[in-house]
Chains A and B, each alone.
Chain A
Amino acid sequence: GQQVMQIPQYQHVQEGEDFTTYCNSSTTLSNIQWYKQRPGGHPVFLIQLVKSGEVKKQKRLTFQFGEAKKNSSLHITATQTTDVGTYFCAGVPTGGGNKLTFGTGTQLKVEL
């Protein structure tokens, strides 16, 4: 079945440093979504990318969807303590209905 892997699994940064998480799917995706989950919380939708090579920005967050629509990345510029949490990508396979397959997640910790 479809697998979605993320690296790194964990990342500790100093506040103000940049952070990037990478997401790779074993199959082509019709879209990729990103979610943030705070400790003890539920996944919160951040963004959806649909087009090959698409880049979207939300303030300090930059999201990319690969040309082959099998990989994606999330980059956070100048991290803040409020960025702490686990970031999951989640893909909908091409021709696969609406079922989301979540990535393995990257846990971000930000230290002052």
Chain B
Amino acid sequence: EPEVTQTPSHQVTQMGQEVILRCVPISNHLYFYWYRQILGQKVEFLVSFYNNEISEKSEIFDDQFSVERPDGSNFTLKIRSTKLEDSAMYFCASPVYARQGSNYGYTFGSGTRLTVV
């Protein structure tokens, strides 16, 4: 089964520092997504990225956040100046396509646990 790979698995950072979270989505997929999950809470949508552009973003995804595709396979989520409330699991996800080409669920990476101290 295709995998979504995320690095690092755990990142501890000082408040105010910049962090970059990395994801390698399923190859040849044009869509990918970033979600976050604060401990014990639901999974929240951050941003969707299609064909090298942001296609949709949530209210959470403010000016402190950015998403890039530095090369052909990697995607990054950057938080410029981390706050304590940014502590969460960050997941990237790729859609899975059924044989007829329609979207059928999402494959999530194993996540990056970000701890801001």
Partner-B contacts on A (CB < 8 A): 33, 35, 41-45, 47-48, 88, 90, 97-105
| Chain A positions within 8 Å of B55 at CB level | 97
Closest partner residue, chain B, to A4 (CB atom): B42
Q: Specify which of A42, A97, A99 is in contact with B108 (CB 8 Å cutoff).
A: A42
**Do B106 and A103 touch (CB < 8 A)?**
no
**Do B108 and A102 touch (CB < 8 A)?**
no
Which one of A44, A47, A88, A99 has the highest number of Cβ atoms from chain B below 10 Å of its Cβ? A99
**Do A104 and B45 touch (CB < 8 A)?**
no
Size of chain B's interface in residues, with CB distance under 8 A? 23
| Chain A positions within 8 Å of B25 at CB level | none
Chain B interface main SS type: strand
Min CB distance A61 to B, Å, is 15
**Do B56 and A45 touch (CB < 8 A)?**
no
| Chain A positions within 8 Å of B96 at CB level | 45
**Do B31 and A100 touch (CB < 8 A)?**
no
Interchain CA distance A56-B56 in the complex, whole Å: 31
| Chain A positions within 8 Å of B33 at CB level | 98-100
| Chain B positions within 8 Å of A35 at CB level | 43
Closest partner residue, chain B, to A33 (CB atom): B105
Interchain CA distance A105-B96 in the complex, whole Å: 22
| Chain A positions within 8 Å of B48 at CB level | 97-99
Min CB distance B10 to A, Å, is 12
Min CB distance B43 to A, Å, is 4
**Do A45 and B111 touch (CB < 8 A)?**
no
**Do B111 and A99 touch (CB < 8 A)?**
no
B75 at the interface (CB under 8 A from A): no
Interchain CA distance A33-B44 in the complex, whole Å: 15
Interchain CA distance A103-B42 in the complex, whole Å: 7
| Chain A positions within 8 Å of B28 at CB level | none
Mask, B2-15, CB within 8 Å of A = 1, is: 00000000000000
Min CB distance A53 to B, Å, is 19
Min CB distance B93 to A, Å, is 8
Can you list 6 pairs linking A and B with CB atoms under 8 Å apart? A41-B110, A42-B108, A43-B43, A47-B105, A90-B43, A98-B31
